[in-house]
Amino acid sequence: MSMGPMGAMRGGAQPLGRSKDLRGTTRRLLARLHPERFKLALALVLGVTSVGFMVSGPQILGSATNVLFNGIIGKRLAPGTTKAQAIRQLREHGESQIAAMVSGMHLTPGVGVNIDELGRVLGLCALVYLAGAAFNYLQGFTMAGLTQRVMSNLRRDVEEKLSRLPLRYFDSHSHGDVLSRVTNDIDNLTTTIQQGLSQLITSFLTIAGVMGMMFWISPLLAVVSVVTIPLALVVTYFIAKRSQVQFGRQWERTGTLNGLVEETHTGHELVQVFGRSEATVAEFREQNTQLYEASFRAQFLSGIIQPSMQFIANINYVVIAVLGGYRVASGLLSLGAVTAFIQYSRQFTMPITQIASQMNLLQSGVASAERVFEFLDAEEESPNEDRDSPVALKASAAGQVTLENVCFRYEADEPLIEDFSLDVAAGDTVAIVGPTGAGKTTIVNLLVRFYEIDAGHILLGGVDYAELTRDEVRRAYAMVLQDTWMFAGSIGDNIRYGRPEASDDEVLEAAKAAHVDGFVRTLSDGYATLIDQDATNLSSGQKQLLTIARAFLANRSVLILDEATSNVDTRTEVLIQEAMASLRKGRTSFVIAHRLSTIRDANVIVVMDQGRIVEQGSHEVLMAKRGLYFDLYNSQFAGVAT
Amino acid sequence: MLTRLLRTYLRPYRRPITILVVLLVAQTVGNLYLPNLNADIINNGVITGNLHYILDTGFDMIAITVLVGACAVIAIYYASRVAMGVGAEIREALFTRVQLFSARDMNRFGTASLITRNTNDVQQIQLFLQMALTMMVIAPIMCVGGIILAIHEGAQLSTLLLVAVPVMTVFIGIVMVKVIPQFRSMQTKIDRINEVLREQITGVRVIRAFVRSHSEADRFAVANEDLTSTALRVNRVFALMLPTMMMILNLSSVAVLWFGGRLVSEGSMPIGNLTAFLTYILQILLSVMMAVMVAILLPRAAASAERVQEVLLTVPEVSNPPHPVRPLSQSGAVTFDSVSFEYPGSERPVVEELSFTFEPGETSAIIGGTGSGKTTLLNLIPRFFDASSGRVLVNGVDVRDQDQETLWVSLGIVPQAAYLFSGTVASNLRFGRPDASDEELWRALEIAQAKDFVAAMPGALEAPIDQGGTNVSGGQRQRLSIARALVKRPSVYLFDDCFSALDASTDARLRLALKEGTTNASVVIVAQRVSTVMHAERIIVLDDGRIVGSGTHRELVQRCAPYREIVVSQLGEGAAK
């Protein structure tokens, strides 16, 4: 039957993962089904009912065969005699074999097939099959609703978790890994539960039902068949285990090969100019051959499961046909029972191959579940609910930021910021400078409370951060980050990101101020132009401008500009600096930039090196010091002197 | 497209395929013959009480079963060999073809799309082939054979097939036509959810800074609700599939017994034939199911084949000349002779009428805003693109007349986005010259200001590098990428704005060392930062694809207004005096 190999292949098509704690994860997975336990029980009842109907079908069909057979044999006997007389007559004619068979049959000599009875039996049979199908459908229907609700809730939980995780989590885990947990693993788990659960239940119920019927009809034949079942299970298990190893190898090699393809295509021009085409092709060929070998073995092994099952089923069939024929001939069994039996034995292999393929699927599903649960268990940020009576920040003092003896470390044993104090009056500009990797973003992380300080105080408008919620703190800031992140949506919506309720005029005003308006007008849909996921349809300079417009519109009292203009082209930069100047007007700003012009105008310059603050003061003060700032400043002019 | 692709790639496998088909035919005939023997057991053995006959026929059945099993296993062997072999060959063909692609060919397809074509699309074709090679052969034989034998067993009864087979086909067809588009729309909704989640992860700083977590949660809730309701609908329709198919099968059996029973009672059909007929009708319907299920894979495989063919049939835009000219010297001179470049169909050229020469031993710089054509200019030298008019000469010979390999030997490129390959620091540095000694590598690292951090890495030269170089910082990546070009020792260096991730002092030290390390070569630096280019012997100022100034820093500050403007904006008023 076609289900076997398809199921096995689907099972193999999932990247296989091994779970570390099978039992624990399974228990948690079951716990998630708990709210749906009544539906699950209902589905189970429906499943049992359906299987009950389905397995009694062949038995009824068998009795229809008996009605026919009785008629045929009965017609051969002399009419008017009783059954006992007919048997005696047969024995006298030396047909003891047939006599024995007739003795086991319910027939009236001389009377042919009872068509009315045949009709009654077959009518019942059709009803039973219809009922079985109906209950089977209802079971599937119930299960679909149940699994979808469970998965929907799991997705919701994962999403809520995302918003409760501290920034530290995102910085210490690769985005790819987090993304893969919340997308691929969830998808994989959904597939498993959707297909696996329902089929597994039906498969086990069918095996139980069929086995019960077989024993009821003929214990002897049943025992013969029951011997072949463990055989089928063992064969399936052995082959499946081996093919699983090969599937694992296949996925591993697919991964390696995809890596090579990705790498070579991404660095295409380098490969060409550095004369590496031939060497790369040779490497590809070698890895491709390895993949071919592994995938051949995987396909072959999983492919022979089905013929092996077929083989065992056929042997079973032959044994039943021969043994059954023998027993019918000896009058110990009816022909209908044998035909019913043959049908049952044919129904047997399907659930077994299905269980085998579901096991593969289930295993990778549990591994995914484990990764999802691991994610859900990650440590969360301290709860920070919006309070009923928010602390009122005085508008006049809103831009005032004070840092008092602030200490902070990413790692407990690596001191970073120790005892740092800084008083920034409303409207001041603070420049943060330092070589690459000096940790300038650490200050930003603390100011907007992406990370919590270990000791000291940060005050906003005279109010301690400790008395404010994170959201209240953040509502005071607008940021232009180095990473020009845009979300998939229109340009207008992206500009509005910090203030969704802004009117079109306000958007236009901000866009003009950030010199975005010019290029947006050249786009076919203007402000309604959609930005795709990675904003690939905008240049890096244009993205930077958009983030500036976004900050403009957000209209917050404190501004953070993180290397904001390093990617903007030289001509627009002149315009941006004007815009920045007007944006900074009346606002407190923290600027992280390589630009000398911004640094010189700053009220305070904070110089950082290797994650720590090394100098602090105005341009003149720091130049006079002849320290790190002096070096940094002068290196910009290196080579000009000649 | 699929048939064309498969015809090409299946040709070498004619023999295994022939064997495969023979085996599958034998297997199917054997499977069809078994019920026939069973009928004989009933008709000639059971009814007449001939136990010997029952046993003899039983042995025949066992023998056939063993043969059928052997055929099936060998057939699977060949099917897997052929399907996976064809897959591997298509992959290799794709990969080698892409190696010949020019930059514009790459852009047209997109790297991501080329990767999917080599992986997912080939996998689709492979899967289809594996199924087709077994089931597509078995199903028709079983169906036709089953019908012939069914007619043989009971000609009158086989009219039932005229009802059962179309009912089954139509039903599966309807479900598929209804469900497949829904599955596709479900996939779009999964993609949507993943997109929202992806944004929440990559944009976490912006979302939190602008206090938008709540609205992001709302967006997710909408997407989640949308997916759940679609998935529910799809799965509920799909739940109908199996029960209905089983119902059609079972009701067919009931019908066979009803109509067959009347024939048997009239004496026009032996009862053993009836049981055989029951088995045949089941087999026929199962083969119909099988065929339909393989047919579902067909559209996807066909779409994949089309995408694969598209790549295989692409003629690379830039190709080697039939009679390449070898340059007489490898001096490193690069000359642009009134070169213009425009994309086909675009209104304006990207660069226009460029004429200049980069002399060996000189450092030249190109400065200009985004979109001024700097990178395009650079890309014309290694023939990533070909000029629309005018000539680009390297070592005195038009690049279009040179063998590409020869041309590339003389060039060392450091692209804007530094890209490293998985391996070690050493394997990356030796990328252009596999036989370079360790001393040469260290020398290059020293010039590129990368010696210190490489020495500090665990394993130094043998330190592992991840794909793309993601395990080192952006600045380190750029310096390694510069060292890689230095190890190659080309006669022309092309630095495409690759100093941007370096801080000013490292930038300055690097430029000084570079000057000493590349004495006889011509060095071309493209940059946006004035401090990077101001020391060059010659600076070319590009604006809107045209040269608006050319000379030393001093000269340009005096004469060239756009240059002055840049200097003032970056270094302040004082630097422009």
Question: Tokens representing A370?
Answer: 């484990």
pLDDT at A449 over 70: yes
The chain A residue lying nearest B81, using CA atoms, is A296
Residues of B in contact with A134 (CB under 8 A): 243
What pLDDT score was predicted for residue B221? 92
Contact across the interface for A137 and B293, Cβ inside 8 Å: no
A 417-456 → B contacts, CB under 8 A: 435-437, 448, 450
Whole-angstrom distance, CA of residue A10 vs CA of residue A1: 15
Q: Is the Cβ of A400 closer than 8 Å to some Cβ of chain B?
A: no
Instruction: Fill in the amino acid letter for A272.
Output: Q
Q: Are B502 and B477 in contact (CB under 8 A)?
A: no
pLDDT tens digit string along A486-514?
A: 777 888 888 888 888 888 888 888 888 88
pLDDT at A82 over 60: yes
What pLDDT score was predicted for residue B522? 87
Contact across the interface for A307 and B209, Cβ inside 8 Å: no
What pLDDT score was predicted for residue B77? 92
Radius of gyration of chain B (CA): 36
Percent of chain A with pLDDT over 70: 87
Q: How far apart are the CA of B392 and the nearest CA of chain A, in angstroms?
A: 17
What pLDDT score was predicted for residue A202? 83
Same fold? A30-376, A382-476+601-642: no
pLDDT at A3 over 60: no
∠ CA B337-B339-B344, rounded to 5°: 155
What pLDDT score was predicted for residue A589? 87
Residues of A in contact with B473 (CB under 8 A): 436-437
What pLDDT score was predicted for residue A131? 95
Q: In chain A, what are the domain boundaries? A: 30-376, 382-476+601-642
Q: How far apart are the CA of B562 and the nearest CA of chain A, in angstroms?
A: 8
Q: Are B537 and B552 in contact (CB under 8 A)?
A: yes
Mutate to test the interface with A, among B288, B570, B573 (most CBs of A within 10 A): B570
pLDDT tier, A267 (very low <50, low <70, confident <90, very high otherwise): confident
Contact across the interface for A325 and B45, Cβ inside 8 Å: yes
What pLDDT score was predicted for residue A1? 30
Highest mean pLDDT among A180-194, A386-400, A456-470, A592-606 belongs to A456-470
Residues of B in contact with A572 (CB under 8 A): 369-370
pLDDT tier, A640 (very low <50, low <70, confident <90, very high otherwise): very low
Burial of B437 (0-12, 13-18, 19+ CB in 10 A): exposed
Going along A465-533, which residue ranges are E strands?
477-480, 489-490, 530-531
Q: Is the dihedral of CA A75, A79, A85, A89 positive or negative?
A: negative
Burial B343-361 (b: 16+ CB within 10 A, else e): eeeeeebbbbebebebbbe
Residue of A152, A183, A259 with shortest CB distance to B197: A183
- Mean residue pLDDT of chain B comes to 83
Residue of A122, A137, A261 with shortest CB distance to B239: A137
pLDDT tens digit string along A139-186?
A: 989 988 888 899 899 999 999 998 888 888 887 777 777 877 887 788
Whole-angstrom distance, CA of residue A15 vs CA of residue A361: 10
Q: How far apart are the CA of B390 and the nearest CA of chain A, in angstroms?
A: 23
Percent of chain B with pLDDT over 90: 6
pLDDT at A126 over 90: yes
Question: Tokens representing B13?
Answer: 């496998």
Query: Which residues have C-beta within 8 Å of that of residue A626, sequence separation ≥ 6?
Result: none
Contact across the interface for A295 and B84, Cβ inside 8 Å: yes
Residues of B in contact with A440 (CB under 8 A): none
Does the structure's ipTM exceed the value 0.95? no
pLDDT tens digit string along B438-479?
A: 888 888 888 888 888 888 888 888 888 877 777 777 778 888
Residue of A115, A500, A571 with shortest CB distance to B369: A571
Whole-angstrom distance, CA of residue B528 vs CA of residue A570: 7
∠ CA B544-B547-B551, rounded to 5°: 140
Whole-angstrom distance, CA of residue B295 vs CA of residue B134: 13
Whole-angstrom distance, CA of residue B412 vs CA of residue B432: 9
What pLDDT score was predicted for residue A599? 76
The chain B residue lying nearest A58, using CA atoms, is B250
Query: Which residues have C-beta within 8 Å of that of residue B36, sequence separation ≥ 6?
Result: B149, B153, B276
Q: Are A127 and A91 in contact (CB under 8 A)?
A: no
pLDDT tens digit string along A199-240?
A: 788 888 888 888 888 888 888 888 887 777 777 778 877 887
Q: Is the Cβ of A9 closer than 8 Å to some Cβ of chain B?
A: yes
Mutate to test the interface with B, among A51, A451, A484, A570 (most CBs of B within 10 A): A570
Contact across the interface for B119 and A254, Cβ inside 8 Å: yes
pLDDT tens digit string along B318-341?
A: 778 888 888 877 788 888 888 888
pLDDT at A124 over 90: yes
Residues of B in contact with A470 (CB under 8 A): 208
pTM recorded for the entire structure: 0.72
Q: How far apart are the CA of B398 and the nearest CA of chain A, in angstroms?
A: 17
Residues of B in contact with A159 (CB under 8 A): 197, 200, 217, 220, 224
∠ CA A530-A534-A540, rounded to 5°: 90
pLDDT at A125 over 90: yes
The chain A residue lying nearest B429, using CA atoms, is A274
Whole-angstrom distance, CA of residue A478 vs CA of residue A562: 11
**Residue closest to A479 by CA, chosen among A444, A507, A510, A506:** A444
Q: How far apart are the CA of B40 and the nearest CA of chain A, in angstroms?
A: 11
**Residue closest to B495 by CA, chosen among B447, B531, B527, B528:** B527
Question: Tokens representing B63?
Answer: 């023998």
Q: Is the Cβ of A462 closer than 8 Å to some Cβ of chain B?
A: no
What pLDDT score was predicted for residue B91? 92
pLDDT tens digit string along B47-89?
A: 776 778 888 888 888 888 889 889 989 998 999 999 999 999 9
Question: Tokens representing B428?
Answer: 């990356």
Q: Are B304 and B125 in contact (CB under 8 A)?
A: yes
Residues of B in contact with A9 (CB under 8 A): 127, 130
Contact across the interface for B73 and A148, Cβ inside 8 Å: no
Average pLDDT on A344-352 reads: 75
Residue of B111, B235, B289 with shortest CB distance to A144: B235
Residues of A in contact with B76 (CB under 8 A): 300, 303-304, 307
Task: Provide the β-strand partners of residue B391.
Answer: B337
Give the DSSP per-residue string, A564-603. TTTTS-HHHHHHHHHHHHHHHTTSEEEEE-S-HHHHHH-S
Highest mean pLDDT among A313-322, A332-341, A553-562, A564-573 belongs to A553-562
Going along A143-187, which residue ranges are E strands?
none
Whole-angstrom distance, CA of residue B559 vs CA of residue B549: 8
Q: Are B111 and A335 in contact (CB under 8 A)?
A: no
Instruction: Fill in the amino acid letter for B437.
Output: S
Whole-angstrom distance, CA of residue A297 vs CA of residue A290: 11
Whole-angstrom distance, CA of residue A252 vs CA of residue A234: 27
Query: Which residues have C-beta within 8 Å of that of residue B214, sequence separation ≥ 6?
Result: none
pLDDT at A356 over 80: no
User: Which residue would you say has higher pLDDT here, A536 or B164?
Assistant: B164
pLDDT tier, A128 (very low <50, low <70, confident <90, very high otherwise): very high
Parallel, antiparallel or unpaired: strands A429-433 and A604-609: parallel
Contact across the interface for A500 and B289, Cβ inside 8 Å: no
pLDDT tens digit string along A309-329?
A: 778 877 887 788 778 877 877
pLDDT at B411 over 80: yes
pLDDT tens digit string along B274-297?
A: 877 887 888 888 888 777 777 767
A 483-542 → B contacts, CB under 8 A: 483, 485, 487-488, 497-498, 500, 533, 539-541
Whole-angstrom distance, CA of residue A147 vs CA of residue A34: 12
pLDDT tens digit string along B348-380?
A: 778 888 888 888 888 888 887 766 778 888 888
User: Which residue would you say has higher pLDDT here, A137 or A522?
Assistant: A137
Q: How far apart are the CA of B457 and the nearest CA of chain A, in angstroms?
A: 16
Residue of B101, B209, B372 with shortest CB distance to A479: B209
Q: How far apart are the CA of B355 and the nearest CA of chain A, in angstroms?
A: 23
Query: Which residues have C-beta within 8 Å of that of residue B477, sequence separation ≥ 6?
Result: B418, B419, B420, B469, B501
What pLDDT score was predicted for residue B78? 92
pLDDT at A135 over 90: yes
Whole-angstrom distance, CA of residue A424 vs CA of residue A404: 11
Phi, psi of B337 (to 5 degrees): -120, 100
A 542-581 → B contacts, CB under 8 A: 554, 566, 568-574, 577
CATH class of A382-476+601-642: alpha beta
Residues of A in contact with B217 (CB under 8 A): 159-160, 163
**Architecture of the structural domain at A30-376:** Up-down Bundle (1.20)
Instruction: Fill in the amino acid letter for B483.
Output: A
Contact across the interface for A487 and B254, Cβ inside 8 Å: no
> Chains A and B: how many Cβ contacts under 8 Å?
460
Radius of gyration of chain A (CA): 39
pLDDT at A68 over 60: yes
Residue of A1, A126, A292 with shortest CB distance to B85: A292
Contact across the interface for A300 and B77, Cβ inside 8 Å: yes
pLDDT tens digit string along B524-556?
A: 888 877 877 888 888 888 887 888 888 888 888
Residues of B in contact with A139 (CB under 8 A): 239
Phi-psi region of A302 (alpha: psi -120 to 50; beta: other; left: phi over 0): alpha
Average pLDDT on B485-491 reads: 86
Q: Are A132 and A47 in contact (CB under 8 A)?
A: no
Whole-angstrom distance, CA of residue A379 vs CA of residue A294: 40
Residue of A187, A276, A569 with shortest CB distance to B370: A569
- Mean residue pLDDT of chain A comes to 80
Q: Is the Cβ of A307 closer than 8 Å to some Cβ of chain B?
A: yes
Whole-angstrom distance, CA of residue B358 vs CA of residue B365: 10
Residues of B in contact with A119 (CB under 8 A): 258
Q: How far apart are the CA of B527 and the nearest CA of chain A, in angstroms?
A: 10
The chain B residue lying nearest A325, using CA atoms, is B46
